[in-house]
Chain A
């Protein structure tokens, strides 16, 4: 398996624009996580899914953020409208069998909002 695949790797957008980040988890994994990494706050959990169902989105910072998982092999994180403070590296991760097992991370999407 190629691991967790995220796209795009880099995204530069203007404030107010819509941004969509994409993730393909490892085949067979039943948990998917979206994390955000910044220097100030470290790695923060935004939302996670189990069998394509959102379980906890309490980490989503605002209503401007939304995430979907239409099937077991695809998830999106959308920010609309984007703001400069959303600039960060966004990671998708997946795991099998539980939340307290190894999570496999993608390479991340570096988002810059200008």
Chain B
């Protein structure tokens, strides 16, 4: 059973547009919800993370929206740029190590 479900699998966005990636989880014990970004040939790197005591966190063009009652969280990338083209993973953690979603391959086209 997947502990976290991520969608979509792939996403194509025009330069300057908004990219939105969603994740849903089941276990209410999770208390750490990060998003990781991975470029080809590299390891995943933390992009932004949220704890369940807030509903939104913004860092530059990247925003996490968190809906505790729906057990969902999403990543919004504003003004998407070609350099944002990468694979994005949501993850969840409580008292166990990070469990990752299957990933979303984002392509930002000019």
Contact = CB atoms under 8 A, between A and B. Distances in A.
A88 to B, nearest CB: 14
Nearest to B103: A42
Contacts of A31: 97
Given A99-B93, A100-B32, A100-B93, A45 B98 contact: yes
Interface in B51-110: 89, 93-103
B contact face: mostly helix, strand, loop, or mixed? loop
Contacts of A108: 42-43
Contacts of A43: 44, 89, 100, 103
Contacts of A91: 43-44
A71 interface: no
29 contacts: A4-B43, A31-B97, A33-B97, A42-B100, A42-B101, A42-B102, A42-B103, A43-B89, A45-B97, A45-B98, A45-B99, A48-B97, A56-B97, A93-B43, A99-B96, A99-B98, A100-B32, A100-B93, A100-B95, A100-B98, A101-B32, A102-B34, A102-B46, A104-B45, A105-B45, A106-B43, A107-B42, A107-B43, A108-B42
